């Protein structure tokens, strides 16, 4: 990857920051809705895994001698820390905590979907998919984990064989199926608010003991 910052680096940086913003919102909502103080959990996870990115421009933070490695490391930290946070919330508060996490995911997705409807082309299934990928964190661009299997104006389907997120959840002894449920909530609410003429569906297929994640954006 280039030693010079390009638009794609800022694009990815903004997605990491959005993911970390969701983490802040989860903590805030848990403390507010459950009248609980989880600062000890938050502090412990940051000490063990790493802190969120500082509130500074990318060019003041990044190591320009290792742009790819710096961004990958920030993804690793953000995903691992959020997986651990959600896992700890469920341990401590059970379904009440999980429901607040779900609402946090939903709220952010609605905001992002409404923003996309005003600022981006969301008139077709492919354009909605492109808009979605301006927001949702799915590894590095070079990972190419999403395999588009159907691409039509009214329908786009993509499949994922090698889930990039699974390892982060396994590392913190969390349940990856929780993330699949949360991401389904996020994407469905994003699509619905970006263009209500379209819907999003998600399922998990099994082929030879391998899980295939099947996503589809389709005109209603």
**What pLDDT digit, counting tens, does each position of 73-122 carry?**
999 999 999 999 999 999 999 999 999 999 999 999 999 999 999 999 99
In a domain, 88, yes or no: yes
- What pLDDT was estimated at residue 168? 98
What is the tally of structural domains in the chain?
1
Domain, as residue range, for 125: 7-219
Mean residue pLDDT across the chain? 96
In a domain, 188, yes or no: yes
pLDDT at 54 over 70: yes
In a domain, 2, yes or no: no
In a domain, 1, yes or no: no
Under DSSP, is residue 87 helix (H, G, I), strand (E, B) or coil?
helix
What DSSP letter does each residue of 32-53 carry, written as one string? HHTT---HHHHHHHHHHH-PPP
């Amino acid at each position: 990857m280039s030693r010079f910052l390009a638009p794609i680096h800022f694009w990815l940086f903004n997605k990491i920051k959005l993911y970390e913003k969701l983490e802040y919102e989860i903590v805030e909502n848990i403390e507010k809705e459950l009248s609980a103080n989880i600062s000890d959990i938050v502090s412990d996870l940051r000490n063990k895994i790493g802190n969120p990115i500082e509130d500074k421009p990318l060019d003041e933070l990044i190591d320009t001698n290792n742009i790819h490695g710096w961004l990958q490391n920030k993804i690793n930290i953000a995903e691992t820390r959020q997986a651990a946070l959600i896992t700890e919330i469920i341990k401590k508060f059970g379904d009440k905590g999980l429901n607040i996490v779900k609402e946090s995911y939903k709220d952010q997705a609605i905001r992002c979907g409404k923003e996309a409807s005003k600022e981006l082309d969301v008139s077709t299934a492919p354009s909605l998919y492109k808009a979605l990928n301006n927001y949702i964190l799915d590894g590095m661009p070079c990972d190419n984990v999403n395999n588009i299997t159907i691409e039509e104006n009214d329908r786009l389907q993509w499949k994922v064989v090698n889930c990039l997120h699974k390892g982060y959840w396994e590392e913190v002894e969390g349940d990856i199926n929780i993330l699949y449920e949360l991401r389904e909530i996020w994407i469905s609410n994003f699509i619905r608010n970006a263009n209500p003429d379209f819907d999003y569906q998600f399922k998990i297929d099994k082929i030879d003991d391998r899980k295939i994640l099947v996503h589809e954006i389709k005109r209603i």
